[in-house]
């Protein structure tokens, strides 16, 4: 069966992109990454993609209108034959003009249990709020920031003495698990969007509460 053609958009380190690349390195995985595009020329993830033999491109957002930036991004994705876009630490807001035509084919990972802690500085804000769990979310993108139908989440416990950095590191491990899982489900056509709700064919639900602290 043909593999789903994925374009990954990054702005920096690219560790989630790395997790997706690793999953796609298995020929039996139902998706392949055909391009990695960064809005920043110095994004460390570009070297990782290059080393994996994936074509990369830079589409700089500076000194131009959002429309112009998004038009070039869209053209680059189209010319690479992209069928699904994965945002992986892509730190630019995309307007409705870009998002709407890709609706249902554009996903993002965010390091909180959405809809809690949208935006930036999420780990410091989670610690300040005193939550016992935070986590990460893979969701379909809508024009509103960090909003859209949720595909998968991982709940990650907050530990005594956590700093934003230690919490971020624990969540990142979970991010690297759930992003390839979400991509697999979409590529296997097991994901159906029904308004704000995602239905997953054949996925096992978790039945027990996880309690923190014990
Ligand atoms: C990840 O933690 C990702 O969830 C977050 O940026 C980091 C990128 O790391 N994304 C957002 O905050 C988007 N709102 P990475 O470049 O190593 O994947």
Domain CATH code at residue 172: 3.40.50.170
Closest atom, ligand 1, to C-alpha of 111:
4
Nearest CA, atom 10, ligand 1: 89
Would residue 48 count as lying in a domain?
A: yes
Would residue 209 count as lying in a domain?
A: no
Q: Is 176 in the pocket of ligand 1 (CB under 6 A)?
A: no
Would residue 213 count as lying in a domain?
A: no
3-state class (DSSP) for residue 89: coil
pLDDT confidence of 124, banded at 50, 70, 90? very high
- Rounded to an integer, the average pLDDT of 40-48 is 98
3-state class (DSSP) for residue 61: coil
- Rounded to an integer, the average pLDDT of 68-80 is 98
Q: Is 146 in the pocket of ligand 1 (CB under 6 A)?
A: yes
3-state class (DSSP) for residue 148: coil
Q: To test the ligand 1 pocket, which listed residue (90, 109, 173) has its Cβ within 8 A of the most ligand atoms?
A: 109
Q: Is 123 in the pocket of ligand 1 (CB under 6 A)?
A: no
Closest atom, ligand 1, to C-alpha of 18:
18
Of 81, 59, 104, which is closest to residue 4 (Cα–Cα)? 81
CA of 1 to the centre of ligand 1 (A): 31
130 and 86 in contact (C-beta within 8 Å)? no
Query: For residue 196, is pLDDT > 90?
Result: yes
- Please state, in angstroms and as integers, the Cα–Cα distance from residue 117 to each residue in 29, 44, 47, 158, 177, following that order: 32, 26, 31, 14, 20
Of 109, 88, 83, which is closest to residue 37 (Cα–Cα)? 88
pLDDT confidence of 1, banded at 50, 70, 90? confident
For residue 163, give its domain range: 4-200
Residue 142: per-residue pLDDT: 96
Would residue 184 count as lying in a domain?
A: yes
- Rounded to an integer, the average pLDDT of 104-122 is 98
| Sole residue written with tokens 């489900």 | 185
Strands (E), 61-196: 84-87, 106-110, 133-140, 150-157, 191-194
3-state class (DSSP) for residue 135: strand
Q: Tens of pLDDT along 29-42? A: 999 999 999 999 99
Would residue 187 count as lying in a domain?
A: yes
- Rounded to an integer, the average pLDDT of 78-93 is 97
Would residue 205 count as lying in a domain?
A: no
Query: For residue 68, is pLDDT > 90?
Result: yes
Q: Is 12 in the pocket of ligand 1 (CB under 6 A)?
A: yes
How many residues in the chain?
Answer: 214
Q: Is 13 in the pocket of ligand 1 (CB under 6 A)?
A: yes
Closest atom, ligand 1, to C-alpha of 108:
13
135: left (phi over 0), alpha (psi -120 to 50) or beta: left
CA of 89 to the centre of ligand 1 (A): 4
> In 10 A of CB 110, how many CB atoms?
25
Q: Which pair of structure tokens corresponds to residue 71? A: 């038009």
Would residue 191 count as lying in a domain?
A: yes
**pTM, full prediction:** 0.98
Would residue 190 count as lying in a domain?
A: yes
CA of 138 to the centre of ligand 1 (A): 11
Marked catalytic residue, from 50, 110, 123, 176: 110
The mean predicted confidence, pLDDT, of the chain is 97
Residue 174: per-residue pLDDT: 98
| Sole residue written with tokens 């979409």 | 186
Q: Tens of pLDDT along 153-193? A: 999 999 999 999 999 999 999 999 999 999 999 999 999 99
| Sole residue written with tokens 């624990």 | 170
Strands (E), the chain: 4-10, 31-38, 56-58, 84-87, 106-110, 133-140, 150-157, 191-194, 197-200
**Tally of structural domains, the chain:** 1
What element of type H or E holds 18? helix 15-24
- Rounded to an integer, the average pLDDT of 4-23 is 98
State yes or no: is 110 an active-site residue.
Answer: yes
């Amino acid at each position: 069966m043909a593999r789903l053609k994925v374009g990954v958009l990054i702005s920096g380190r690219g560790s989630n992109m790395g997790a997706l690349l690793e999953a796609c390195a298995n020929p039996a995985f139902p998706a392949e990454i055909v391009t990695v595009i960064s809005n920043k020329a110095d994004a460390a993830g570009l070297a990782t993609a290059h080393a994996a033999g994936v074509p990369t491109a830079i589409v700089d957002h500076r000194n131009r209108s959002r429309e112009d930036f998004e038009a070039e991004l869209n053209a680059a994705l189209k010319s690479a034959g992209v069928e699904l876009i994965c945002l992986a630490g892509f730190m630019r807001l995309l307007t409705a003009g870009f998002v709407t035509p890709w609706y249902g084919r554009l996903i993002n990972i965010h390091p909180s249990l959405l809809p809690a802690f949208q935006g930036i500085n999420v780990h410091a804000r989670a610690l300040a709020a005193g939550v016992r769990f935070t986590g990460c979310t893979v969701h379909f993108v809508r024009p509103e920031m960090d909003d859209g139908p949720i595909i998968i989440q991982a709940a990650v416990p907050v530990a005594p003495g956590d700093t934003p950095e230690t919490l971020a590191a624990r969540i990142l491990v979970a991010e690297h698990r759930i992003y390839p899982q979400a991509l697999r489900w979409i590529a296997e056509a097991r994901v159906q969007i029904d308004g704000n709700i995602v239905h997953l064919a054949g996925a096992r639900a978790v039945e027990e509460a996880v309690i923190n602290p014990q």
